[in-house]
Copies of this chain bind each other. A is one copy, B any other.
């Protein structure tokens, strides 16, 4: 592992560590320590931390120090609700706007997968395709942002239960059907329910911890 050589690489490295949960919420991010760790001066480290703060992955703690962002149960609910509503919004828009070729691609993502492809991959590609299908770069950017911010908590439980995965697959197929039928309202409602179910289990797991 070659040491990062620029502010952007420091940013990417820290973001990855936070998203993967290798840096727990509340963990201090002292500029001097990180600079020494990355073999750089404080300046690019500072720059990376400020960018992370702007993205909501990091916040200021006591002593104006940067710490990995902590979120209250309420804040988490708000984040997950926003994520679900925006995904639903995009699904509805995608049902109206996706081309036949794009819908065919969506179909291939869900059904064309052999046994070698795991659910997590299909899940990401399915949601990505719908985001693109909404044909609004601003909404896509917002969703990407919310996804990053929620990943640390969604990754807290790595292994989805098998029955939940089966249910999710069925929900994906139902959304695809609604999109194929150009039924925007149904696509949005199904996506809202899908996200609510998926994120609800995460919330429960976090609450019981």
Q: Is the CB of B50 within 8 A of A81?
A: no
Q: Does A32 contact B (CB under 8 A)?
A: no
Q: Is the CB of B89 within 8 A of A85?
A: yes
**A191 smallest CB distance to B (angstroms):** 13
Interface check A96, CB cutoff 8 A? no
Q: How far is the CB of A175 from chain B (nearest CB, A)?
A: 19
Contact assessment for A78 and B146 in the assembled complex, using a CB-CB cutoff below 8 Å = no
Residues of chain B lying within 8 A (CB to CB) of residue A137: 75, 78
Interfacial chain B residues near A89, Cβ < 8 Å: 85, 89
A136 at interface by CB-CB < 8 Å = yes
Nearest opposing residue in chain B for A82, CB measure: B138
Interface residues of A in 10-51 (CB under 8 A from B): 43, 46-47, 50-51
| A139 interface residue per 8 A CB criterion | yes
Minimal Cβ-Cβ distance residue in B for A93: B85
Select which of B43, B55, B75, B82 is within 8 A of A142 by beta carbon.
B82
Is the CB of A114 closer than 8 A to any CB of chain B?
no
List of B residues within 8 angstroms of A136 by Cβ? 78, 81-82
Q: Which residues of B contact A46 (CB under 8 A)?
A: 47
Give the residue name and chain of the B residue nearest to A90 (CB): B85
Which of A50, A75, A82, A138 has the most chain B CB atoms closer than 10 A to its own CB?
A: A138
Q: Which residue in chain B gives the minimum CB-CB distance to A140?
A: B78
Some 11 contacts from A to B, beta carbons below 8 A apart, are A43-B43, A46-B47, A47-B50, A50-B50, A54-B54, A75-B138, A81-B138, A82-B136, A82-B138, A85-B89, A142-B142
Excluding A50-B54, A75-B137, A82-B139, 17 further A-B contacts by CB distance (< 8 Å) are A43-B43, A46-B47, A50-B50, A51-B54, A54-B54, A54-B55, A75-B138, A78-B138, A78-B139, A79-B138, A81-B136, A81-B139, A82-B142, A85-B93, A85-B139, A89-B89, A142-B142
